[in-house]
Amino acid sequence: MNNKDLMQLDGYDIHFRLICSEDHERLIRFYYKLSDKTKFLRFQFNTANIPKVRVHKEAAFLCNLDRNTHNAIVAIIQRDNQEEIIGVARFVRDSETASAAEFAVVVLDEFQSKGLGKKMLLKLIDAARKMGINCLLGYLLSYNDVMIHLIKTLNLKTKIINFRGQIEAYIDISQQGTDKSCGKKPKTGREFTF
Ligand SMILES: CC(C)(COP(=O)(O)OP(=O)(O)OC[C@H]1O[C@@H](n2cnc3c(N)ncnc32)[C@H](O)[C@@H]1OP(=O)(O)O)[C@@H](O)C(=O)NCCC(=O)NCCS
């Protein structure tokens, strides 16, 4: 990513880069700053009793990704003389077909509804296309109106399957929007990561 990857929000310069192993502590701080509501929307279960050791383990996993199968972009600001993560967008590839991946985006509460989530998802789509991925699947709670709206504003072919309160949102990111297999669930071994 280059200098064009800058955005200004609430007086902060935000820059975007791929996650790296030095982000471990920053990711943990990010996780603990998320509200319960945001964590529930993202992880879809009550995270209140998640032990610290698991959060640390998940952070270690996410910031040391195997880049053949995963990718993650972070949004960073400079606050209190240090880098702070304010958003994470990630995908994990289908272990069989490699042309599909599961994705997720989460933005720190104070920076939500200001265009950051959409910007991060667009960057993630760019990165996914470069890896030959044609289809992204997001698991959402059926009442997650912001994310559902965001996906619809991408103007890409999408398929939304609503089943018992959970949505599978398939986004066809192939250049012509003609990936016929988009809608088939990728096998990713889902994990709890930021
Ligand atoms: C979902 C999430 C990533 C979206 O990021 P965001 O920065 O808040 O959203 P954006 O500001 O980029 O908004 C995207 C669109 O939704 C609209 N929107 C944003 N907040 C909204 C709100 N509270 N109510 C209605 N629409 C809203 C925006 O207007 C924008 O649409 P537009 O381009 O037509 O104007 C973020 O809210 C979040 O982290 N939520 C909790 C975690 C989560 O639900 N993750 C998704 C599961 S993978």
CATH number of the domain encompassing residue 136:
3.40.630.30
Number of structural domains (the chain) is 1
1 lies in some domain: no
pLDDT of res. 2: 53
Q: Which domain holds residue 35?
A: 6-172
177 lies in some domain: no
Rg of the chain taking only CA atoms, in angstroms: 16
41 lies in some domain: yes
- Structure confidence by residue, pLDDT tens digits, 108-147: 999 999 999 999 999 999 999 999 999 999 999 999 999 9
Residue from 112, 121, 137, 144 to probe ligand 1 pocket by mutation (most atoms less than 8 Å from CB): 112
- Structure confidence by residue, pLDDT tens digits, 176-189: 878 888 988 888 77
- The answer, yes or no, to whether any atom of ligand 1 lies below 6 A from the CB of 42, is yes
pTM: 0.94
- The answer, yes or no, to whether any atom of ligand 1 lies below 6 A from the CB of 108, is no
186 lies in some domain: no
Tell me the average pLDDT of the chain: 92
| Centroid of ligand 1 to alpha carbon of 42 (angstroms) | 12
**pLDDT above 70 covers what percent of the chain?**
97
How far does Cα 45 stand from its chain's mean position? 17
